[in-house]
Amino acid sequence: MYELHPEDEMLHLTLMDGQARVLLCETTRMAQRCADIHHTTPVCTAALGRLMTGTAMMGVMMKGEGESVSVTVKGGGPMGTLVAVAEQGNVRACADNPRVELPLKADGKLDVGGAVGHEGRISVVKDLGMKEPYIGQCELVSGEIAMDFANYFTVSEQQPSLVALGVLVNGNAVLKAGGLLIQPLPGCPEEIIDQLELRSPMFADISREMTFAPISQLCEDWFRGMEPRILERTPLDYRCTCSRDRMEKALISLGRKDLQSLIDEDHGAELVCHFCRNKYSFTAEELTALMDGSKGDNEK
Ligand SMILES: [Zn+2]
């Protein structure tokens, strides 16, 4: 064991003098934090960990300050809807039901596809700081998440991609989590693509590989002879951006009628953030102040 708890980070690489782009990341801490917040069962730890890892990759590809991406997976499985949001390296996630328990698959792996379901869609909303966000979506392939990201990149963004995502779980502990994205860039020769496909079994079980070597070593091993060059490293973290201010805005957006019923019937409100489970309490007086300060155009 080389290091017990290295920081999560994303490596940005090129291969063969820029003919292909690679993102390779460790997300162990992020997946553990998510498991601790949502008290996930192992299969849900894996599903959310994979989703966050894929979303982190999209997040670091967006360079602008304040840009964010949210990925929603709705597969009709018992976990319900899964959501992950990334603002560069800061990621957060939640699911309708993070306590799903399913038997292991025949190969001994967690049945992520069974928990997520595969009758539905993966939707991506990129907030680029402009008025209209970019929205893309496509059908789920398997609900196993990695294949669904690969298919999304290929179909919806016309960018052929190889994606590996893995979360190695033991009970409540995340032993290793991480992901790999390889994208041949325009003009990349066919031999290089073939070469990458030939090597893909090496990174199929990425989280287990990560128990043997740090990711910087793995990228040297996996891409030997293909001139792997690390251009950039981005720290990754599970981080929520909720605040009392945002919760106030959410309350105001309910409109006067619903606010009044919170005041009359519940004598206050307690909001819980879906992503970090932080609680925000509002007294009836505070709700009244919000209502008086709010504009009448929210009236329902
Ligand atoms: Zn929060």
Distance CA 160, CA 184 (A): 7
CB burial class (10 A; 0-12, 13-18, 19+) of residue 58?
buried
**Mode of pairing for the β-strands spanning 9-15 and 229-235:** antiparallel
Q: How far is the CA of 99 from the centre of ligand 1 (A)?
A: 19
Annotate 124-151 with b (16+ C-beta within 10 A) or e (fewer): bebbeeeeeeeeebbebbebbbbbbbbb
Q: How far is the CA of 92 from the centre of ligand 1 (A)?
A: 8
Q: Quote the pTM value.
A: 0.92
Q: Concatenated DSSP letters for 155-183?
A: HHS----EEEEEEEEETTEEEEEEEEEEE
Distance CA 27, CA 30 (A): 5
Which one, of 151, 125, 145, lies nearest residue 136 by Cα? Answer: 125
Q: How far is the CA of 242 from the centre of ligand 1 (A)?
A: 4
Q: How far is the CA of 77 from the centre of ligand 1 (A)?
A: 25
Residue 194 burial (CB count, 10 A): 10
Q: How far is the CA of 279 from the centre of ligand 1 (A)?
A: 9
For position 5, what pLDDT does the model report? 53
For position 261, what pLDDT does the model report? 92
Q: How far is the CA of 37 from the centre of ligand 1 (A)?
A: 10
For position 294, what pLDDT does the model report? 59
Q: How far is the CA of 235 from the centre of ligand 1 (A)?
A: 20
For position 217, what pLDDT does the model report? 94
Q: How far is the CA of 277 from the centre of ligand 1 (A)?
A: 6
Using left for φ > 0, alpha for ψ between -120 and 50, and beta otherwise, residue 237 falls in: beta
Q: How far is the CA of 291 from the centre of ligand 1 (A)?
A: 23
For position 297, what pLDDT does the model report? 46
Q: How far is the CA of 244 from the centre of ligand 1 (A)?
A: 10
CB burial class (10 A; 0-12, 13-18, 19+) of residue 116?
buried
Residue 158 burial (CB count, 10 A): 7
Strand order of the β-sheet with 237-238 is 134-139, 121-127, 68-74, 81-87, 90-95, 237-238
- Residues of the chain falling short of pLDDT 70: 1-6, 294-300
